[in-house]
């Protein structure tokens, strides 16, 4: 459809704003009018989004680090997160609301169901002459950063989203170099080299932390990994900067603009930890985000015309501090022993296991049977079968083990003249924990010592039942998630979901205008208040809209 002008968009969307505000809250009694901070009183805005962080993440991380998080004392209120088509939002719809002030359907990047493409608060800041920046430790084209600069009906079209970045944002720092490179350079763009386009447009191109430490440019494209960053606790590459270091670099560059700036910083992988129900990653990624907020706070303390806002797009995982079995106890302290995430544990188990692959196998319920002779042959062993007493002797690695076909120590059956045995039972016979995985009609058997690997990285000792729990799932596909469940049990944490939830999320703010975010507000209110405070005209009837938001924050109101 033809692209409309900003004036046309404002007129068309004004009615939507009025209707949405009416649905958010209605007064029980007529409250006194709240006074908004002076319009245009804020020069710089740092919007920090801990993706997926609910209140329980803050509680758990506080216990983990042993002190309050840097933003906790600035709690202002709660934010409703529902999307246009669901009570449970995704990051695309929630991000669109935080960036543009409009609800949309899940999966859509700053685009409404009718195809309208509303401007974002970053667009408004840029049009007003301010510098702009995006920082994330996911791919920078992931849903949350993308909504501030791109438009698409499908969040998965990241190659298309990337093509809208160059020239629209001054500072871009994060992961996802593959989305900016052509296929000829192992990238995802069919032909375009967006990195070269950025360089030709005057961007300083960064690929390492060393590059970042030496830049003094006001236009930066820093893509430090081909994909997303690894979790902070799993990062062993010294050239991948932390979220705090990228935030500091962005602030140095953007603050050179005398007209001010708008910066969005996302702690992207808190959400991923929630999806995985990984308690180690959940608290360490939240702590990583907290370090970035400290950088923002220090900047704001020296620049009093700077507003810092911390608000998640939604909660992920339904995290609870405590579980049914523990009663009133918690054991978050045990997570301090961890040296890696569930992903790191799963990788170590997979890579450290001895493996055998079978194209011929039989599945009986949850058990997998393989021909004994070929299985042992593949392990460079031998088999001797004593027909008279139904005894089977297996020799492997100079160790001999015997079992009877009658006592079910090793479950087995005969078929087509072959003896099939349960691979897990066979592994146990030789003292191994045995797991399996099926892919492309092939069965891979993993022989390892689960407890020693898990305890060395996660810092917890497994019970026999927990070892069985980990070996009973498909490897590698379901292993990482199950490790998260087991470690959560040790920490006495529980989860309600592996998806997003509909609960409100806390909002924290400090700096001029922070009081305007108090009470229960909608996620669409956030960019509307920001636009008013920095003096841009992102929305039609903006002054009246903000006053209505503030009126609905006062006592004596209820959500419809």
Percent of the chain with pLDDT over 90: 78
At 545 the pLDDT is 83
Reply yes or no on whether the pLDDT at 424 is more than 80: yes
Select the more confidently predicted residue: 260 or 391: 260
Instruction: Specify the range with the lowest mean pLDDT, choosing from 34-48, 125-139, 185-199.
Output: 34-48
Which residues in 103-139 are b (16+ Cβ under 10 Å) and which e?
Answer: bbbbbbbbbbeeebbbbbbbbbbbebebbbbbbbbbb
Cα–Cα dist 98/329, whole Å: 37
At 249 the pLDDT is 99
How much is the average pLDDT of 38-51?
96
- pLDDT tens by residue, 472-499: 999 999 999 999 999 999 999 999 999 9
How much is the average pLDDT of 323-327?
86
Reply yes or no on whether the pLDDT at 7 is more than 70: no
Question: For the domain 44-318+498-559, what is the CATH code?
Answer: 3.40.720.10
275 is in an annotated binding site: yes
Instruction: Specify the range with the lowest mean pLDDT, choosing from 53-57, 170-174, 227-231, 541-545.
Output: 541-545
Q: How confident is the model at residue 25 (pLDDT cuts 50, 70, 90)?
A: very low
Q: CB within 8 A of 324, min separation 6: which ones?
A: 494
The answer to whether 20 and 545 have CB atoms below 8 angstroms apart is no
Domain boundaries, the chain: 44-318+498-559, 344-494
Reply yes or no on whether the pLDDT at 153 is more than 70: yes
How much is the average pLDDT of 286-293?
99
Select the more confidently predicted residue: 248 or 10: 248
- Per the annotation, the verdict on 91 as an active-site residue is yes
Average pLDDT of the chain to the nearest whole number: 92
Reply yes or no on whether the pLDDT at 556 is more than 50: no
Reply yes or no on whether the pLDDT at 11 is more than 70: no
How much is the average pLDDT of 407-420?
86
Q: How confident is the model at residue 317 (pLDDT cuts 50, 70, 90)?
A: very high
Reply yes or no on whether the pLDDT at 29 is more than 50: no
At 175 the pLDDT is 99
The answer to whether 554 and 32 have CB atoms below 8 angstroms apart is yes
Cα–Cα dist 216/381, whole Å: 63
- pLDDT tens by residue, 353-380: 999 999 989 999 989 999 998 888 888 8
500 is in an annotated binding site: yes
Cis amide bond preceding 476, omega within 30 = yes
At 560 the pLDDT is 40
313 is in an annotated binding site: yes
Nearest-5° angle of CA 484, CA 489, CA 492?
120
Q: How confident is the model at residue 408 (pLDDT cuts 50, 70, 90)?
A: confident
142 is in an annotated binding site: yes
At 364 the pLDDT is 92
Q: CB within 8 A of 45, min separation 6: which ones?
A: 121, 125, 261, 262, 263, 306, 307, 308, 309, 530, 533, 534
At 385 the pLDDT is 82
Helix (H, G, I), strand (E, B) or coil at 111: coil
- The catalytic position among 63, 83, 91, 110 is 91
The answer to whether 282 and 319 have CB atoms below 8 angstroms apart is yes
At 38 the pLDDT is 84
Which residues in 393-425 are b (16+ Cβ under 10 Å) and which e?
Answer: ebebeeeebebebeeeebebeeeeeebbbbbbb
Q: How confident is the model at residue 554 (pLDDT cuts 50, 70, 90)?
A: low
At 551 the pLDDT is 85
User: Could you tell me how far CA 420 lies from the centroid of its own chain?
Assistant: 44
Reply yes or no on whether the pLDDT at 3 is more than 80: no
Reply yes or no on whether the pLDDT at 303 is more than 50: yes
Q: How confident is the model at residue 212 (pLDDT cuts 50, 70, 90)?
A: very high
Cα–Cα dist 425/431, whole Å: 10
525 is in an annotated binding site: no
DSSP state of 174: E
Cα–Cα dist 427/422, whole Å: 9
């Amino acid at each position: 459809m033809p692209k409309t002008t900003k004036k046309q968009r404002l007129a068309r969307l004004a009615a939507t704003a009025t209707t949405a505000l009416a649905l958010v809250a209605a007064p029980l009694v007529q409250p006194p009018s709240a006074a908004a901070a002076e319009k245009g009183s804020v020069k710089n805005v740092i919007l920090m989004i801990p993706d997926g962080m609910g209140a329980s993440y803050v509680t758990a991380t506080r216990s983990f680090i042993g002190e309050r998080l840097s933003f906790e004392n600035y709690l202002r209120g709660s934010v409703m997160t529902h999307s246009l088509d669901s009570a449970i939002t995704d990051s695309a719809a929630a991000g669109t609301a935080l960036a543009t002030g409009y609800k949309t359907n899940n999966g859509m990047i700053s685009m409404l169901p009718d195809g309208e493409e509303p401007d974002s608060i970053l667009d408004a800041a840029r049009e007003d002459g301010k510098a702009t920046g995006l920082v994330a430790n996911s791919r920078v084209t992931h849903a949350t950063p993308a909504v501030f600069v791109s438009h698409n009906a499908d969040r998965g079209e990241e190659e298309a989203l990337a093509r809208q970045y160059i020239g629209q944002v001054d500072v871009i720092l994060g992961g996802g170099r593959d989305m900016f490179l052509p296929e000829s350079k192992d990238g995802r763009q069919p032909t375009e080299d967006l990195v070269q386009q950025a360089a030709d447009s005057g961007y300083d191109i960064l690929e390492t932390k060393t590059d970042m430490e030496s830049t003094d440019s006001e236009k930066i494209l820093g893509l430090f990994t081909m994909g997303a960053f690894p979790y902070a606790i799993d990062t062993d590459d010294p050239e991948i900067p932390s979220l705090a270091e990228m935030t500091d670099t962005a602030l140095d560059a953007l603050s050179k603009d005398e007209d001010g700036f708008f910066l969005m910083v996302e702690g992207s992988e808190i959400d991923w930890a929630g999806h995985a129900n990984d308690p180690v990653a959940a608290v360490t990624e939240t702590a990583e985000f907290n370090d970035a907020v400290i950088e923002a706070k220090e900047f704001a303390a020296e620049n009093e015309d700077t507003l810092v806002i911390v608000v998640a797009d939604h909660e992920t995982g339904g995290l609870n501090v405590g579980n049914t079995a523990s009663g009133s106890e918690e054991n978050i302290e045990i997570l301090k022993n961890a040296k890696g995430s569930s992903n790191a544990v799963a990788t170590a188990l997979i890579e450290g296991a001895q493996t055998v692959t079978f194209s011929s196998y039989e599945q009986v319920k949850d058990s997998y049977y393989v021909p004994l002779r070929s299985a042992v042959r593949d392990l460079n062993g031998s088999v001797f079968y004593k027909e008279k007493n139904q005894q089977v002797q297996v020799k492997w690695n100079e160790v001999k083990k015997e079992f009877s076909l009658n006592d079910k120590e090793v479950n087995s059956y005969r078929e087509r003249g072959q003896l099939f045995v349960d691979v897990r039972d066979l592994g146990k016979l030789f003292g191994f924990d045995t797991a399996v995985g099926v892919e492309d009609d092939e069965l891979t058997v993993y022989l390892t010592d689960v407890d020693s690997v898990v305890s060395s990285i996660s810092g917890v000792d497994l019970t026999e039942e927990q070892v069985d729990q980990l070996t009973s799932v498909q490897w590698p596909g379901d292993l990482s998630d199950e490790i998260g469940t087991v470690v959560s049990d040790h920490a006495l944490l529980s989860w309600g979901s592996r998806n997003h939830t509909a609960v409100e999320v806390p909002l924290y703010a400090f700096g001029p205008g922070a009081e305007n975010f108090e009470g229960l507000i909608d996620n669409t209110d956030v960019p509307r208040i920001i636009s008013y405070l920095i003096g841009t005209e992102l929305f039609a009837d903006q002054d009246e809209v903000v006053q209505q938001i503030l009126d609905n924050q006062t006592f004596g109101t209820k959500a419809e």
